[in-house]
Amino acid sequence: MQTFLHTSALQSQLKTWRSQGLRIGFVPTMGNLHEGHYALIKKAQATCHEVVVSIFVNPLQFGANEDFAGYPRTLKADLDGLAQMGVGAVFAPDEAEIYPRPVTDMSFVEVPGLSDMLCGASRPGHFRGVTTIVNKLFNIVQPDMAIFGLKDFQQFTIIKRMVSDLAMSVELVGMETIREADGLAMSSRNGYLGAAERQQAPLLYQTLQDLRDKIRQGEHDYFELELLGQEELENAGFRPDYVAIRRADNLDVPFADSPGLVILAAAWLGKTRLIDNIQL
């Protein structure tokens, strides 16, 4: 496995691979890798000759009062895990490599509308940071395929829109959410949870499952169900940010008979903001 800190060196390796006709997969991450990340990599390896994993904690997608400084950085352990998986190349640039000028002076990519709702409403600028870095990483790696977790359902929806709007030639794959045994979606931020919070945390997924069951049983007053979900979360000790039932294809508010729904939630447990979703 080769670890690249600089774009130019990575690109020369990619050029060699491409000249050999190899299909290249790409898995962007912020590091602190867990089984969720490894599942994405395995899936990419199943259809690609070589997989590039990037590790970059992207300052542009963190708000001023968010956890950028404290975000877990575990590069050594991450590289060990990736080497064991047989990953061919890791791209681990520093901030200056990606943002050589003040970010306020640099070009950005924004998907309007989709980026302003749900998580975007409480994290202004977050998705602009995501689409800008993903676009830049796509330009650097020029992968045949890229894979993202559906745990970040809104993020995946926005990236699909960006790729379609801007005619980017990359195949996007979404990977189902990998969970702990008790149902909690794996996340680098789970490490922020105290012991008692960790016990409460699976109730987020439980709440989504309860709402899904109610819809399956024929309840279609989605607004009522969203309120019920928020109440359930509050009773379980969360501070809900939102519980939303949306169309899975475009995140629009559904009609009673709309097919293909997704239930999304974000909620605080102490200082930790957890997100999860479930598709019907």
* Residue 220 a catalytic site member: no
Alpha helices in 107-152 (DSSP H): 119-122, 126-141
AA letter at 43: K
Q: Which of 6, 37, 49, 220 is catalytic?
A: 37
How many residues would you count in the chain? 280
Estimate to the nearest angstrom the gap between the alpha carbon of 266 and the chain centroid.
13
Total site size for ligand AMP, rule CB under 6 A: 17
In sequence order, which residues have a C-beta less than 8 Å from that of residue 177 and are 6 or more positions away? 36, 149, 150, 151, 185, 186, 276, 277
54, 157, 177, 230: residue in contact with ligand AMP (rule CB under 6 A): 177
Q: Read off the DSSP letter of residue 185.
A: B
In whole angstroms, the minimum distance from the beta carbon of 20 to ligand AMP comes to 27
Two tokens at 174? 């979404």
* Interaction of residue 163 with ligand AMP, rule CB under 6 A: no
* Interaction of residue 230 with ligand AMP, rule CB under 6 A: no
Distance between CA 237 and CA 89 in Å, rounded? Answer: 42
* Interaction of residue 241 with ligand AMP, rule CB under 6 A: no
50, 152, 232, 241: residue in contact with ligand AMP (rule CB under 6 A): 152
* Interaction of residue 61 with ligand AMP, rule CB under 6 A: no
DSSP string, 154-182: HHHHHHHHHHHHTT---EEEEEPPPB-TT
131, 157, 187, 230: residue in contact with ligand AMP (rule CB under 6 A): 187
Tell me how crowded residue 147 is: count the other CB atoms within 10 A of its CB: 24
* Interaction of residue 236 with ligand AMP, rule CB under 6 A: no
Q: Read off the DSSP letter of residue 85.
A: T
- One symbol per residue from 26 to 45: x for binding ligand AMP (CB under 6 A), - otherwise; what is it? ---xx-----xx-xx-----
Two tokens at 140? 């650097």
103, 168, 170, 186: residue in contact with ligand AMP (rule CB under 6 A): 186
In sequence order, which residues have a C-beta less than 8 Å from that of residue 224 and are 6 or more positions away? none
Contact 30, 57 (CB under 8 A): yes
Which stretch, 1-9, 183-191, 229-237, 256-264, contacts ligand AMP (CB under 6 A)?
183-191
* Interaction of residue 173 with ligand AMP, rule CB under 6 A: no
Is the Cβ of residue 175 or residue 225 nearer to ligand AMP in the bound state?
175
Secondary structure class of 217 (helix, strand, coil): coil
In whole angstroms, the minimum distance from the beta carbon of 130 to ligand AMP comes to 9
* Interaction of residue 204 with ligand AMP, rule CB under 6 A: no
* Interaction of residue 25 with ligand AMP, rule CB under 6 A: no
* Interaction of residue 141 with ligand AMP, rule CB under 6 A: no
- Supply the residues annotated as catalytic: 37
Instruction: List contacts with ligand AMP (CB under 6 A).
Output: 29-30, 36-37, 39-40, 148-149, 151-152, 175, 177-178, 185-188
